[in-house]
Structures are given as structure tokens and as C-alpha cells.
Structure 1
Amino acid sequence: MDEMSILMHVCTLVVKTLTFPLQLAELLGVCRLYKRVFPALMDRLSFAYNQKMSEKKREMFRDLMRFSSRDEPLRLLEVGCGSGANFQHYPSGCKITCTDPNAHFKDYLQKSMDKNDHLVYENFVVAPGEDLRVVEDNSMDVVVCTLVLCSVKNTPKVIQEVKRVLRPGGAFFFLEHVEADPSTWLYFFQHVFHPLMYYFVDGCETTRATWKHIEAAGFSDLQLRHFQAPVFSLIRPHIVGYGVK
């Protein structure tokens, strides 16, 4: 283990020690109260993120209609929809099903629905990405995840569920922040401040190599690329793309 790795582990231990009261609060269930206020925080953060990433999202979603079923409206499932920050980028007339594990997003989601009346909203389901049993097999043309796989409990299980609900030839679109290159100082700080991000951003982890799970999922065609987003430095490394079932 080199000196940088030793220093990283020592600093991470210090931060973990400082966040011990938060760890205890989570074990005691006190952090559940945060679930009520987190949607308000995310609504503001999503607005700022969307402004900086609007061009990237337009580029990402411009191919959605390629995956519609003949002349029928596009059937789209958004996993971890939050406050509906992506709705403005979806093509007119597509049918949207939304899922999120936090029921308290519903009021903010309704505001986005009212604002984006070019879409048809089928359902909002309170469910984790690992358990989408309310969505039928092979029923969706497109599944979308943006800034979701950083906080799910089991990334491979979520991707497995995504593939289950996609029809053959359907596509999984993703935009996620990921772990930096291990040779960089950003990697160092991502690991050191990981405990703070986890507790203050509702389980967000800055140290995930999410692309490895997507690459291992067995999509018939995978378009994935890494880029540096113009956002807060700890989440600057991003991946974007889509995988076809």
C-alpha cells in the first residue's frame, strides 16, 4: 500500500468517526425524518443540475423515439424519478410510468407533470429499483435512470429488473456520476468524503464504478462513454449512454 492510499484510509477513518452520530441515527431510524425534507432539497439541486446539464440531456434523449413500437406511443419507465427533472426532455405523447422509493416526492412530481403536459402519465409507484414487480415483463420501450444508481442498494439487481421490464429491442438510458480514476486526487477526496455524501445526500455514494455493472449486464448493444460534467467536483466524473436488450 503506497503513501497516498495510507493517507486516504486514515482521512476516511477520521471522517467516519466524525459522522458516527449520523450512523447511530440511521440505525435508530431517526434518519427516516430526513426522507420528508430530502425531496425539497433534491428539487432545488435537480434544477441547478439540469441547467448545467441541459445540453447533455437533450443529446442523450434525442434518440428515444428510435425505440418506440411501430406507430404506438413510446412507453417509458423512469426509475428513481425524483421530482421529474427529466420530463421536459421526453418526446410529446409518450406514456410515462414513474417509480421512486420515497413517497414524499409525489407533490414535487405533480408540479412537473402539470408543467409538462405534452406527456401522458400512466402511474407513479413507490418502489425501489431492485423490486419493480408492479411493472410487467417486456412491457417498456425505454427505461431511464439518471443519478439513481449511485444510491441503490444493489446495482446488478436494478439492472436485472430493467432488462426484465424492457421489451426485446428496447433500451436502457443512463446518466450517472461515478468513481474517478484511482491515480487522481479526486479519487482520494471521493473516498475521504464518501461518508458525508452518503448521509447528507440520502445514500449517495461517490465511489461506485457503475459502468462495470452495466458492461457486465449483457446488453446486445451498449453505447457508453465517460466524460467530465460541469458540476460539483466530487461528482464530476460521469458516464452516459444506452444499452439495447
Structure 2
Amino acid sequence: MALVSCLQRCVQLALLPVYVLVHLGLWDTVYKKVFPYIMARLASSYNRKVHRQKQELFSNLGQFVGPGGQLRLLEIGTGTGTNFQFYPAACRLTCTDPNPNFGQFLRKSLSENPHLCLERSLVAPGENLHQIAEGSVDVVVCTLVLCSVSSVESVLREVLRVLRRGGAFYFLEHVAADRSSWTYFWQKVCDPAWKCFGDGCSLSRETQKDLEKTKFSELNLRRVHVPLRWIPASPHIIGYAVK
């Protein structure tokens, strides 16, 4: 751990100009405009790597169609809309993201997926979904989002609030590697830089523990390995939980 701390300090020292910009309030202003373009470039490559897993994950969405006969689906942290292709036709879609600069990429993805019906697109963090009524959605989807939120517990509390009884929460998240592994070592070393350039993303969150503590009636979770070259974020968890 002493070596990790030493290397972290070296990384933090190299990031000193960024920290100055953060302190002056300039970093978020600029980077939040740039970040969607970065994600748009990376999303297609990542989606190819997890295409089979996503197909399998979302294959049973139809089981959670509500009494009205249509699936009411809320996606938290929609970003560029990389999950749209996996959603069933005519589902009633609500999108949320705290970054309004994803708008043009969201519209592009919607035009490429005309089988979907967008009801609302909200600029909102996952920790505060007050614009969405309690028990009003059948399914909540969250992929590669819990790594960067300020409070996983708060997001999951909101998920439980907006889901109807018997609704489901679908997730795909990169998580901390085994603590005895070299991957975990590099996750901890790289975390300071990753948080700066990944819009708050942490490489070493143990999100599965938060899911296990949340009061879902059923939790279906498994670990998978996603081959990501030069990035220590290959350990993932994938699954769904039922309210």
C-alpha cells in the first residue's frame, strides 16, 4: 500500500495544473463540453466488446411489461444512447443525464432507433430524480454510471422509489478487481487521473456491495471480464435486480 500511495502522489503531482483549473471552476465548464465527444468515440468500440452480454442481459425485458401493455423504461445516465438498440419496440422511454451536452448524440441515436418512443429527456443526476413519480416505471437501466456518481446508495434509493412493485433494475458496471491482483494495484494508482478525465469515474468501486445491501427482493448478479486494452477496468458486474 505504501507503493500505491507513493505512485498516487506522483500522479496527483502531474495533475496539479488540472487541480488548479478545478479549483478555479474552469475544468468542469470546459471538460463537460468535451466529454460527450470522447464518449461518442469510445462507445461504439466498447459496445462491440459487450454486445453479446448486453443482448443476453436485455433479452428478458418483456417479462417486466406493466399493466398498460407497454414497457415504461427509465435510463439513468443515458449519455450517447448506446443501449437503445437493445430495447424492445414501442417501449416508453425516459432518458436522464446530468450533462446537457450529450443532447446531439442522444438525438442521433434516437434517429437510428426509430422503434423507440421517447417520452421525456431530463437533465438530472441519478441521485435526484424528483421529476419522476414514485412507482411510475417498469424498468430502470444503468450502465457504466454507478462508477462516477457521487453516491451509489442515493442512486439505488431513487431506483427503488421510481420502480413499481415487481419492476426491475438492469446494470452493467466496471468494478474493483480482486485486491490481491495487479489489476487492482493499477486501478488504485490510476484512480486520481481517471477521476479527472473520466468525469468523476472511479476504477476501484465495489458496486456489488451496494447492490447487495439494497432492499431488492431478488438480485441476479454475475462477474464478467471485458477485454479493455491498456485500461485496468476489465472486471465488470452484470445483471438485474427485482423490487
d(CA) in 1 for partners of 2:227, 2:60:
23
Displacement, 1:99? 0.1
1:207 paired to 2:204? yes
Unaligned 5+ runs, structure 1: none
d(CA) in 2 for partners of 1:221, 1:23:
42
Normalization by structure 1: what TM-score?
0.96
Indicate which of 17, 27, 45 corresponds to 1:21: 17
Q: Which moved more, 1:216-225 or 1:18-27?
A: 18-27
1:238 paired to 2:241? no
Indicate which of 69, 74, 82 corresponds to 1:72: 69
Kindly report which structure 2 residues correspond to 1:116-155, keeping only aligned pairs within 5 A, or say none.
116-155=113-152
Normalization by structure 2: what TM-score?
0.97
Displacement, 1:51? 1.0
Local SS of the residue matching 2:147: coil
Displacement, 1:230? 2.0
d(CA) in 2 for partners of 1:216, 1:94:
30
Q: Which moved more, 1:12-21 or 1:205-214?
A: 12-21
Identity rate, percent = 47
Q: Which moved more, 1:66-75 or 1:31-40?
A: 66-75
Displacement, 1:72? 1.3
Kindly report which structure 2 residues correspond to 1:1-245, keeping only aligned pairs within 5 A, or say none.
5-31=1-27, 32-70=29-67, 72-232=69-229, 233-245=231-243
d(CA) in 2 for partners of 1:231, 1:62:
24
Unaligned 5+ runs, structure 2: none
Displacement, 1:29? 1.0
Provide runs of 4+ in structure 1 moved above 6 Å: none
RMSD: 0.9
Displacement, 1:71? 5.3
Structure 1 residues 37-67: Cα deviation after superposition (integer angstroms, max 9, x where no partner): 1111101111110011111100110011111
d(CA) in 1 for partners of 2:36, 2:129:
21
How many equivalent pairs are there? 241
d(CA) in 1 for partners of 2:136, 2:68:
16
Displacement, 1:138? 0.1
